[in-house]
Structure 1
Amino acid sequence: MQQTRLDIARIRAARRMIDPGFLDTPLYRCEALEPGLGCAVSIKLGTANPVRSFKARGTEVVASLLAGKGSRAVVCASAGNLGQALAWSGRGRGLDVTVVASRFATAAKLDRIRALGATLELVDGDHELARERAAAIARHDGIRLLEDSLDLETCEGAATIGLELVEAMPSFDAVLIALGGGALATGVGHVVKALAPAAEVICVQPLGAPAMTRSWRSRRVVTTESADTIADGVAGRYPIPVVLDDLLLVADDAVLVQEASIIAGMRMLFDHAGLVVEPSAALGIAAVLEDRDRFAGRHVVTIVCGSNVDVEAYQGWIGTASLSPRRHAP
């Protein structure tokens, strides 16, 4: 494999900086999903931690390094999960954390950022406007700007998921990874290509937020004017060039899935795996649903990357009846 920005030795070192509460999340075969998908399915449950997403693996590394240098503050832009993770990691290390988010972000995520003690600033626009505002705050206050996916620590923190995967399950055919800014995809992809190169690395993005996938297919940055998807965690419009360069080296494929398939994937994970997940976390299942022939008879791993959802929105997506106890015939 050609060299990405990532390094296996640094990834192993990153694992030692991460609070144990975020490590060694469950990895298990979920046979109940398999009849509906036509393939063997294993779940890597990245939500079994204090912030219910994989993002803290990166923020733990960033906060640890900042605290070690005596830094006092950090700011980031977030659709919700990164902000929660940074608030958690910063609180434990005495850092003042500012999070900039769209006021249209999931309310439950914004509430949790506040509850974790971060300063939350809302902008009247999407995530790209939040990124601009966070950069302005960093310049004005002279503090660290954490940029998800661009900052290598976020990628190498996420890559520890890949270490756990290949160490616990050395043989599988493909791993399905939600694709947004690229930290999870490039991190896990790097490890899989380095340590389990026979496995396919397949990135999955919503059809309504296709910028990184279009960029991967074109081998150059492609931006979009808007994003229209319920999967807010992966709804970026401006891919980062160096992240795309890494993705081009580790991804075997990048696919786009429809909103209906994302919702069907969420419903399957609830009905057959007992998991309440946010839309981004169902992208892997959605990819199998849309291309069963491709995965038939194979063993795929899907990374469930987040479970911070607004309850009312979730009920609307998967159907209130699905949340009610089922009555079985005697």
Structure 2
Amino acid sequence: MHDVHRTPLKQSKTINRLTGRQVFLKMENQQRTGSFKLRGALNKICSLTKEEASRGIVCASAGNHAQGVALAASERGISAKIFMPKKTPLAKVEATKSYGAEIKLTGETYQEAFTAASEDMLANGSTFVHAFDDEKVMAGQGTIALEMMQQCPDLEAIVVPVGGGGLIAGIAVAAKTFHPQLKVIGVQSQGAPATYNQFTGKNTGYMNQAKSIADGIVVKKPGKHTYPVIEQFVDEMVTVSDEEIAYAIIFMLEREKTLVEGAGAAAVASLLCNKIDGQRNKVGCIVSGGNVDLSKIEHYRKLSHQFLDEKPLTSMS
């Protein structure tokens, strides 16, 4: 069975100069399937019993988890049925199909696809592989932190994009187990701040509406299993606007020659836009994925210009 890539941890002189610190970018956009999600999916699917595997897998995803599950299932020879929202970009649907999964386009949002997948699981007795709210999935994502601590043993903080919380929960447990003093900071989109709201005591975290260009982290409520882990092990949570995320996407494309999706740009945006306090100098930053719908790049460019017009970065002059 194939493994996940040990992705590069790289620095950017430009980002270091603009932020006044040493930033180490963990390039999960270069992971197989184009995102970190393969790690959790592979860990979960490799740990299924023969009996669980024989029933086939079902899951719901807006894109990256779908590709991770489809690839991991095909490598273990398990059939996979994946429910995706109708508006999922064609590139993500085709990529998932190419790994051999059966695709069902259902509903307008991830939540509706998730409901349909849950009903299918009950009807057919399939094994459900959740996108984030699962301990094996969280543990798989936590391998990123283990790699980062090997690649740069004196990191002082890790900045992580947060949707349902599987990535930050796994990273926080791994980081705090080996380096309790390492700070773990979560970043959410201002348009989908469910976990941020609960973490900062604003409300219980459930949102009727959630919208952002960072579709990979648009989740309406914190995970039942992920949130208690976040509450225990995460140090800080911040939010970034769509304009700031778009600025980070275009920045990474133009300055770093690398394609980063909205969710993957969120952590970068928090650093470029000074959302993280300045006490920690060596900061790891998770660039979680690169599966961009290329037709939206022009829209991101416009949002980025809007951001720069409204808040010129003094350090960029």
Same fold (TM over 0.5): yes
In the alignment, does 2:296 pair up with 1:318?
Answer: no
Q: In structure 2, do the counterparts of structure 1 residues 57 and 298 end up closer, same or farther at CA, with 3 Å as the change threshold?
A: same
In the alignment, does 2:221 pair up with 1:238?
Answer: yes
Deviations 1:47-82 (A, max 9, x none): 223201001111111221236446231000101000
Q: In structure 2, do the counterparts of structure 1 residues 87 and 67 end up closer, same or farther at CA, with 3 Å as the change threshold?
A: farther
Q: Residues of 1 paired with 2:259 and 2:34: CA distance? A: 11
Runs of 4+ in 1 over 6 A off after TM superposition: none
- Identify the residue that residue 251 of structure 1 maps to in structure 2: 234
- Identify the residue that residue 14 of structure 1 maps to in structure 2: none
**SS of aligned partner of 1:224:** coil
- Identify the residue that residue 43 of structure 1 maps to in structure 2: 25
Cα pair 2:29 2:288 within 8 Å, conserved: yes
- Once the two structures are TM-superposed, the CA of residue 293 in structure 1 deviates from its matched residue by 7.4
User: Equivalent of 1:53, from 26, 30, 35?
Assistant: 35
Q: Amino acid of the residue matched to residue 306 of structure 1?
A: G
- Once the two structures are TM-superposed, the CA of residue 106 in structure 1 deviates from its matched residue by 2.5
Report 1:1-330 matches (<5 A). Answer: 19-20=2-3, 22-66=4-48, 68-69=50-51, 71-72=53-54, 73-218=56-201, 221-291=204-274, 294-295=277-278, 298-318=281-301
Instruction: Please report the RMSD computed on the Cα atoms of aligned residues, expressed in angstroms.
Output: 2.2
Cα pair 1:229 1:235 within 8 Å, conserved: yes
- Once the two structures are TM-superposed, the CA of residue 174 in structure 1 deviates from its matched residue by 1.5
Q: Amino acid of the residue matched to residue 61 of structure 1?
A: N
**SS of aligned partner of 1:60:** helix
* Identity %, equivalent residues: 25
Q: Residues of 1 paired with 2:22 and 2:130: CA distance? A: 36
Structure 2 residue runs without a partner (length 5+): 306-317
Q: Residues of 1 paired with 2:42 and 2:115: CA distance? A: 23
Q: Which deviates more, 86-95 or 234-243? A: 234-243
Q: Amino acid of the residue matched to residue 190 of structure 2?
A: L
Q: In structure 2, do the counterparts of structure 1 residues 88 and 301 end up closer, same or farther at CA, with 3 Å as the change threshold?
A: same
Q: Residues of 1 paired with 2:172 and 2:89: CA distance? A: 28
Task: Give the TM-score, by structure 1 length.
Answer: 0.86
Q: Amino acid of the residue matched to residue 157 of structure 1?
A: G
Q: In structure 2, do the counterparts of structure 1 residues 293 and 185 end up closer, same or farther at CA, with 3 Å as the change threshold?
A: closer
- Identify the residue that residue 312 of structure 2 maps to in structure 1: none
Q: Residues of 2 paired with 1:19 and 1:221: CA distance? A: 41
Task: Give the TM-score, by structure 2 length.
Answer: 0.90
**SS of aligned partner of 1:92:** helix
Q: How many residues align?
A: 304
